[in-house]
A and B are shown apart, each in its own frame.
Chain A
Amino acid sequence: MNNGEQGSGISGQGSGGSGIFFKAFVGMFLRDLRVLFREFHVFLARVGMQPLLFLFVFTFILPRMGGVNMMASGAGMDFGTILLPGLMAVAIMFSGIAAVALPLSSEFGITREIDDRVMCPLPLWAVALEKVSFSAMQSIIAALLVIPMAYYVPAHPVRVQVANWFLLVVVLVLSSFLTGALGLVIGSTVNPRQIGLVFSILVVPITFLGCVYYPWAYLNKIRWLQIAVLINPIVYMSEGLRASVTPGIAHMPWWAILLALVFFATALGRLGLRGFLRRVLS
């Protein structure tokens, strides 16, 4: 076939089938990196503001007011230490939603920009996987950013002790993919006009009831709630990070955490992929 005479860059025609899939995947990842780094300060503000304010109010201002911080005194433990893994979970969660659900919703709805990437020479599931992977990367950065904040902001520095690095890495990665998949579900099913509503009726409740501000074990005084929150994937993210970053605080057994994270990541991933395919293929 005639590919044009002046062809300086004949496409990867020589490379095999999976070779071009990989290159296309890398190409999309590079595209996302370019967009992210161009507005890196925006990204930092987006993921950093919430944990920063949380730490500032609950671990810097309130302790100085003395006695007011009921949560800390009730917990009998430095509240910052309880809060750190929870804030990491929230950072992962919000970053996942912001990196997948919001852009996807508008790319599907208004601009159809997604068409460009849907027309790439790789399977559609891989396009969805790229979205989720890139969001996972942002989530991990967002979660790690919380650690130095927790060290510098609170009145009493938080004791971070990573007993099991392997567990931390596994929990971080699983949690990040889980929220990316959740973002995919939301982005492909909710239209852009209602995306704000999703925050009020889904994101905020699962965050507040996600054992972010209290360890799951402390819920034993409200037994029905302790059982009810088990359907909330954020619980396992918070508990998993608790187990790996501040193991001194009561947490679920690691095997239960990992099992639940794998289960939710897979289930949401399948659901999200189905929604994605339904939107791009008629």
Chain B
Amino acid sequence: MKLLIVEIEALTKIYESKLRVVALDKIDLELKQGEIFGLLGPNGAGKTTTISISTTRALPTSGTVRIAGIDVVQHPAHARRHIGVVPQFNTLDRSLTVYENLYFHCRYFGFSHSQAKSRTLELLEQFLLTERKGVYPAQLSGGLAQRVQIARAIAHRPTVLFLDEPSAGLDPQSRMAMWNAVAELRKEGITVLLTTHYMEEADSLSDRVAIIDYGRVLALGSPEKLKATFGAQTIFDLKLKSLAGIEKAVIWLKTRPDVTSADATPEGLRVVATRTAELLPDLVQVGSQFGLRDLAITEPSLETVFIKLTGRDLRE
């Protein structure tokens, strides 16, 4: 059996201010050594709070988090030796060059001068940053800065790496480069917990995914398993000019064996179906009676799983 690197038990965080906000509601998660684990959910679902508590940056209201067996609330300084963090925003040291950012990070973690130097050179090479070693963070593009942040986060060879929305604000090219960097980490045997609201990201990078919303885990498993369990369904969104008499169409659609659900929406119709081949032409025909102006098809993905579980889009 593989070692458990991250153990989150009944983790609860309640922000008591004017408004009582339950950010986390008894979350349980376990990460095995070497796996890449995706925490998927819309903004405000509790992803960042989970990371903040796990990385000793916030205190839980109740519940525990253990990193490599160390309780993060009881022994935060010791736990931090096992933790690497790539925060949501660029927190590189603006007063230091790229080289120095990595070098001093190593020193903070107890490396000697020569150890820190060789580790820094190794990382610069690994992340193709050697040419930029003398540059200050303010002069770096978003993608490059993110690469430096990842290099810095793994510099002290942590047991687990936390990536909080790693591709937020990145252009597609940088996002691909970042994904490759994360995939490369697998070879080093490092455990990764990443949060994202990009389905593709969770789907293509993660070994396992937890879908969370309103501070609760709604579903947990490999992307394939989630798609299978919650039905590999296709979602059709129809935008219609006129909605008069749409109820009849809804009733008719619901009787079809290939349709899982059909509902009227403010703009038209949403149909969730298991098979699409025969349905599509029929939908177009029905839709045209109501002045069909747009038809969007969402292929089976974690996105459809999420919509099925929560009834709303991730980006809503």
By a beta-carbon cutoff of 8 Å, the part of chain A in contact with chain B is 1-4, 6-13, 15, 17, 19-21, 23-24, 26-28, 30-31, 34-35, 111-124, 280-282
Provide the bound-state CA to CA distance between A119 and B157, in Å. 14
Q: Is the CB–CB distance between B57 and A116 below 8 Å?
A: no
Known: A21-B77, A121-B78. A27 touches B93 (CB 8 A): no
- Which residues of B have CB within 8 Å of A21? 77
Complex alpha-carbon distance, A11 and B159, angstroms = 12
In the assembled complex, the CB of A106 is this many whole angstroms from the nearest CB of chain B, namely 9
B94 within 8 Å of A (CB atoms):
yes
A112–B89 CB distance below 8 A: yes
Which single member of A6, A112, A121, A282 contacts B108 (CB below 8 Å)?
Answer: A121
How far is B123's CA from A8's CA once the two chains are assembled, in angstroms? 12
Contact: A120 with B94, CB < 8 Å?
no
Whole-angstrom CA separation of A19 from B157 in the bound complex: 18
Nearest 3 CB-CB pairings of A with B: A12-B110, A9-B115, A27-B107
Q: Chain A residues with Cβ under 8 A from B159's Cβ?
A: 1
Measured between beta carbons, the chain B residues less than 8 angstroms from A15 are 110
How far is A8 from B105 in the complex, measured between Cα atoms in Å?
16
Q: Are the CB atoms of A282 and B52 closer together than 8 Å?
A: yes
User: Please, how many residues of chain B have a CB less than 8 angstroms from a CB on the other chain?
Assistant: 47
| CB < 8 Å neighbour of B57 from A17, A23, A117, A280 | A280
Q: A8 contacts B122, CB within 8 Å?
A: yes
Contact status of A31 and B81, CB under 8 A, knowing A11-B111, A12-B109, A282-B58: no
A34-B96, A115-B87 known; A12+B111 contact, CB < 8 A: yes
Is B238 an interface residue, CB under 8 A from the partner?
no
Q: How far is the CA of A124 from the CA of B100 in the complex (A)?
A: 22
A-B contact pairs, 22 of them (CB 8 A): A1-B33, A10-B157, A11-B106, A11-B110, A12-B109, A20-B110, A24-B107, A27-B109, A27-B110, A31-B100, A31-B107, A34-B104, A112-B91, A114-B91, A115-B57, A116-B91, A116-B93, A119-B57, A121-B77, A121-B78, A124-B76, A281-B58
B55 touches A9 (CB 8 A): no
Given contacts A116-B93, A280-B57, whether A4 and B188 have CB atoms under 8 Å apart is yes
Q: In the complex, A35→B104 CA distance in Å?
A: 11
Closest chain A residue to B81, Cβ basis: A121
Contact pick for B107, options A19, A23, A114, A115, CB 8 Å: A23
Q: Which residues of B contact A20 (CB under 8 A)?
A: 81, 109-110
- Give the complex CA separation of A102 and B21 in angstroms: 33
Q: Which of A19, A26, A121, A122 has the most CB of B within 10 A?
A: A121
Asked whether any CB of chain A lies closer than 8 Å to the CB of B302, the reply is no
Measured CB to CB, the nearest residue on chain B to A25 is B108
B80 touches A119 (CB 8 A): yes
What are the residues of chain B within 8 A of A123 when measuring CB–CB? 76-77
B229 CB–A CB distance under 8 Å = no
Minimum CB–CB distance from B84 to chain A (whole Å) comes to 9
Q: Chain B nearest CB: distance from A188 CB in Å?
A: 16
A112 to B85 Cα, complex, angstroms: 13
- Alpha-carbon separation in the docked complex, A280 to B58 (Å): 8
Cα–Cα distance between A112 and B56 once the two chains are bound (Å): 16
Q: Within the complex, which residue of A8, A24, A31 is in contact with B110, where a contact is CB–CB below 8 Å? A: A24
B95 within 8 A of A: yes
**Chain B hits for A122, CB < 8 A:** 77
Evaluate contact between B119 and A8: CB separation under 8 angstroms: yes
Per the bound structure, the CA–CA distance linking A17 and B80 in Å amounts to: 12
CB distance from A221 to the nearest CB of B (A): 49
B92 in the interface (beta carbon within 8 A): yes
Q: Which of A24, A28, A35, A281 contacts B95 (CB 8 A)?
A: A35
* Interface pair A31/B104, CB less than 8 Å apart: yes
CB-defined contacts of A34 to chain B, threshold 8 Å: 96, 100, 104
Is B279's beta carbon under 8 Å from chain A?
no
**Residue contact A24 to B111, C-beta cutoff 8 Å:** no
**Structural contact, A17 and B78, CB atoms closer than 8 A:** yes
Q: Which chain A residues lie closer than 8 Å to B100 at the CB level?
A: 31, 34
Assess whether B192 is interfacial by the CB under 8 Å rule. no
The smallest beta-carbon distance between A181 and chain B, in angstroms, is: 22
Choice from B91, B111, B118, B152 contacting A113 with Cβ under 8 Å = B91
Q: Which chain B residues border A114 with CB–CB below 8 Å?
A: 91
A3 CA to B188 CA in the complex, in Å?
A: 7
Indicate if B189 sits at the interface (CB-CB under 8 A): yes
Measured between C-beta atoms, what is the minimum distance from A25 to chain B in Å? 9
Given contacts A12-B110, A113-B91, could you give 20 more A-B pairs where the C-beta distance is less than 8 Å?
A4-B188, A8-B122, A9-B114, A9-B115, A11-B106, A11-B110, A12-B109, A12-B111, A15-B110, A17-B78, A20-B110, A31-B93, A34-B100, A35-B96, A113-B93, A116-B108, A119-B83, A120-B108, A123-B76, A282-B57
Complex CA gap A23/B159 in Å reads 20
